[in-house]
Structure 1
Amino acid sequence: MPKITFLPNADLCPEGKTVEAEEGESILEVALRNDIEIEHACEMSCACSTCHCIVRKGFDSLEESDEQEDDMLDKAWGVEPHSRLSCQARVADKDLEVEIPRYSLNHAKEDH
């Protein structure tokens, strides 16, 4: 079973956290199930960029992003070559290390 290591984020998981994931789950689903409240203003429909994350290890194990995700990533703050929308990036059979950026372009935090 693959694992995701979420790197420390001052607001969401100050100590960082390593959790188990199921193949086929999105990074966001795994995070939310483990009480890491990544913002997701569009309810995981790939219509915003608030769940932007950076996959520091294991990026190549993910399926490639599609055009819709790429268009949304263009709107995200702090995009890097290994950026993905956590609602769209599905876990494969490799462990991942994920950084949740400190900022997003969302002006009002949703309470999910």
Structure 2
Amino acid sequence: MPIIKILPHPEYCPKGATIEAPTGTSICEALLDHDIEIEHACEMSCACTTCHVIVREGFESLNEMDENEEDMLDRAWGLEPNSRLSCQAIVGNKDLTVEIPKYSINYAKEKH
């Protein structure tokens, strides 16, 4: 099973974490399954950018981005060339290193 290394984030994962995720799982699902409560305001329907992550290692092993995700990512805070919406980024066979950006664009932050 691939390993996902999550870099430290002051709110969601202060010490960072290393988790296992089954191939075919979205990064968002994997984080939530391991109690890393990343925002996902649209309930993983690719209708917002609150689950935006930056894939520091293993980007090429993820599924290809579709046009809807590309359009949504244009609205994300801190967009980088290796940015993905974690709800749409499907874990392949390689290990990943993921950074959760410091900020997200969420006008009504809620606990899920």
Whether these two folds match at TM > 0.5 is yes
Q: Quote how far apart the aligned CAs of 1:7 are.
A: 0.3
Alignment of structure 1 residues 1-112 onto 2, 5 Å = 1-112=1-112
TM-score w.r.t. structure 2 length?
0.98
- Matched pairs, number: 112
Q: Quote how far apart the aligned CAs of 1:5 are.
A: 0.4
Whole-angstrom CA distance in 1 between matches of 2:102 and 2:38: 10
Runs of 4+ in 1 over 3 A off after TM superposition: none
SS at match of 1:22: coil
Whole-angstrom CA distance in 2 between matches of 1:22 and 1:33: 11
Whole-angstrom CA distance in 2 between matches of 1:36 and 1:107: 21
Q: Quote how far apart the aligned CAs of 1:64 are.
A: 1.4
Q: Output the aligned Cα RMSD.
A: 0.5
Whole-angstrom CA distance in 2 between matches of 1:75 and 1:94: 28
SS at match of 2:97: strand
Q: Quote how far apart the aligned CAs of 1:63 are.
A: 1.4
Identical positions, percent = 67
- Structure 2: runs of 5 or more not aligned: none
- Structure 1: runs of 5 or more not aligned: none
Deviations, residues 49-73 of structure 1 (Å, cap 9, x unaligned): 1100000000000111000000000
